[in-house]
Amino acid sequence: MKRDYLIMLVLLAALIVAPMFIYPVFLMKLLCFALFACAFNLLLGYTGLLSFGHAAFFGGSAYITGHLVRNGFDINFTAPGFLKFISLSVDTAPLTPELGLLAGTAVAAALGFLVGGLAIRRAGIYFAMITLALAQMVYFLALQFPFTGGEDGLQGVPRGRLFGIFDLTQTYTMYFFVLAIFCIGFWIIYRAIHSPFGQVLKAIRENEPRAISLGYDVDKYKLVAFVLSAALSGLAGSTKTLVFQLASLTDVHWHMSGEVVLMTLLGGMGTVFGPIAGAAIVVGLQNYAAGLGEWVTVITGAIFVMCVLAFRRGVVGEIGALFKK
């Protein structure tokens, strides 16, 4: 535990001074995906549930936050047929960035509750396929709904002013805001996995029938873990929208779900800092090897194969095993 706190302090200090040496926008992207990977690791690494649909929460929240921050609530509904006398019209001013983040996170949590409530009824590959199918439904909805912008995406999302005081259009102000969000999300995950709740999740991962025999309502624990993972994934997606002022179909595509699985496995599934390392590897390759074009995917795949063959526990997992020896 003390070692974890020491690593956290060193990592925080490094992230505070990092913008002086590394492009801040790249660092903000890294922090968003690191939070996304940590949220996914809570489900896969500590609960043993492999979801192929986390892009639905990441991208769905991104669209909701982007729309509310840019346009506010803009709803005009009239019932069809003989019920046409029933109508609803809501039009409000755009939300501030902090309210937009909260709204996006809340929608991701609600979506996680619906998807998780259906998916946890099955296990293994069936669970994964259900999450993938439901995530693809979200993708097609994002493609069809008018407010998402279709294939063009939701562009021109304003960053605004945080609490009406801090101007997020300033790069360094935005960076430290993203860093604060990452720290809050990471701390929530860390406290969850080191609480009695986290110990039950590990018991479910290791031996679910034994956990049931001890009297735990396994389905409820799985659902809570799924909703928490979905909410934090949504927080990461909402933050990413404010950083790049854009929400696109890439955010809800199944490739995004595959990327977060790759990040988690590369860094070390079931480790505290593994997803951060995995996100740094994948995002770093995408950024600094962009000149290689499609070869980036080939290189990422080769690194993944090497890690699977030589580092079964991921980069951080293998380093931790060496220190234990």
Domains of the chain: 26-324 (1.10.3470)
Query: Tokens 């991962």 correspond to what residue?
Result: 205
0.85 cut: is pTM over it? Answer: yes
Element (H, E) at 4: helix 2-17
pLDDT of residue 70: 84
Half-sphere exposure of 239 (CA within 13 A, CB side): 29
Q: 233 and 108 in contact (C-beta within 8 Å)?
A: yes
Residues of the chain scoring pLDDT < 50? 83
Instruction: For residue range 167-186, list pLDDT tens digits in order.
Output: 888 888 899 999 999 999 99
Q: What is the per-residue pLDDT for 254?
A: 84
Measure the CA–CA gap between 159 and 137, rounded to whole angstroms.
29
* 265, 275 contact by CB (below 8 A): no
Give the 3-state secondary structure percentages of the chain, helix then strand then coil, rounded to 5: 75, 5, 20
pLDDT recorded at residue 142: 86
- The pLDDT, as a whole number, for residue 292 is 67
Among residues 229, 219, 155, 154, the alpha carbon closest in space to that of 188 is found at 229
- C-beta of residue 65 within 8 angstroms of C-beta of residue 233: no
* The pair of three-digit structure tokens given for residue 177, joined into one six-digit string: 């805001």
Query: DSSP readout, 76-134?
Result: EEE--GGGTT-EEEEE-PPPPHHHHHHHHHHHHHHHHHHHHHHHTTS-THHHHHHHHHH
Q: To 5 degrees, how large is the angle CA 211–CA 217–CA 220?
A: 120
Say if CB 233 and CB 39 are below 8 A apart.
Answer: yes
pLDDT (0 to 100) of residue 322: 74
What stretches of 245-294 show up as alpha helix (H) in DSSP?
254-267, 274-288
β pairing state of 87-91 and 74-78: antiparallel
